[in-house]
Structure 1
């Protein structure tokens, strides 16, 4: 048995595992999550991007309907969502601290969007309101 080549193969396999785990890890903050969302969304083919936007629209309509009040602070905000292989939102990050932003984030968390091409997949909901 050739121990040096076996050892090299094991070390290479370990290095590949560590590299893929590091890439698969979730970002720890909003900025990292938003960067991942921008990159993931940009990588989608047109048909998948359309399906994702349509699914986001449904989730957002439901969230806004459950959160809006006549006097809601409609300052802009962003919610970034991490999706699993089935399109379920498993984690969210938010920029903006209004009650509406917080409520929408809570309602989006756990919802299901369209099935992404890979998991984890990141997408963002960027909201600004005009009167």
Structure 2
């Protein structure tokens, strides 16, 4: 199993030619920290291998600070991969709770067991309040 697409989104809807990803995001601005993004949707498209079909799977999501320090990230997703031989992909939309303590570019590592599958970047900037 490999991840062919991993992006933070506002949502996913069925379009005429497949699915439409809504509100793609690579960063957020906040006036201060710490801040927690609760139920942040993450779209994943998994490319399936024959050996994975029908198996139980757990993906773990680990948040790293801009300096590479591991942050507390108790996010995981348990699911079963499709057993159908015709299925070549699986689409998932887990929601994550992510807490940020520093401004800068954070890394979200997606792991299966001890294997790193994907790294995503999410930039947190300081945004001034409008008066």
Question: Which TM-score applies when normalising by structure 2?
Answer: 0.26
Q: Which protein is bigger by CA-based radius of gyration?
A: 1
Which of the two has greater strand per residue? 2
Which of the two has greater helix per residue? 1
